[in-house]
Amino acid sequence: MMPFSELVLASHNAGKLKELQAMLGDAVRVRSVAEFSTVEPEETGLSFVENAILKARNAARISGLPALADDSGLAVDALGGAPGIYSARYADGQGDAANNAKLLDVLREVPDAERGAQFVCALALVRHADDPLPIICEGLWHGRILHAARGEHGFGYDPLFWVPECDCSSAELPAAQKNQLSHRARAMALLKQRLGI
């Protein structure tokens, strides 16, 4: 792939922008799609990969830059993979606190042994809006869902996601450590390998 000095991230999520810029380091300047448009494309895909490609193409089209999209979410085993691609809108778009409250409520009677879950990240990178060969990298981060929120860091479902190898929730991890372990970190490591950075 042609090297480039900047790309647009197809997300209005400041937390995601900060995480991805930290993971990419100084090799590439990451700009938010919010600099170019406040309108988000409709996520009509049925998978994380489909939605990532859709968002990347849209961001490339409106910015004229290579675009990176991240579609990520939480897949809970006991819920057949839900909330999945609807993770950010699980509680009808009412935000992280409402999403977390709904998840805790739905899992209220589910015992620890059946609360397995994974954070999923699909990254799609396109050189231009009609790129016939997007680069797709996926990452999974396995854990389980707690019975109550723990920790002050991160965003989304981080306070409910137990990380067994660290014996704490994702929201209790320092940002630098999370950026080495997370689903996004795993997908980004693959992407950096593909790009040679």
Q: Which residues are annotated as a binding site for Mg(2+)?
A: 42, 71
Written as one string, the DSSP assignment of the chain is ----SEEEES---HHHHHHHHHHHGGGSEEEEGGGT-SPPPP---SSHHHHHHHHHHHHHHHHSS-EEEEEEEEEEGGGTT-BGGGGGGTTTT--HHHHHHHHHHHTTT--GGG-EEEEEEEEEEESSTT-SS-EEEEEEEEEEE-SS---SSSSTTGGGEEEGGGTEEGGGS-HHHHHHHSHHHHHHHHHHHHHT-
Binding region:
11-16, 42, 71-72, 155-158, 178, 183-184
| Active-site pick, 26, 70, 71, 96 | 71
Q: Is 71 a catalytic residue?
A: yes
Residue 56, both tokens: 């990347």
Q: Are 115 and 107 in contact (CB under 8 A)?
A: yes
Binding region for substrate:
11-16, 72, 155-158, 178, 183-184
Tell me which residues are annotated as active site. 71
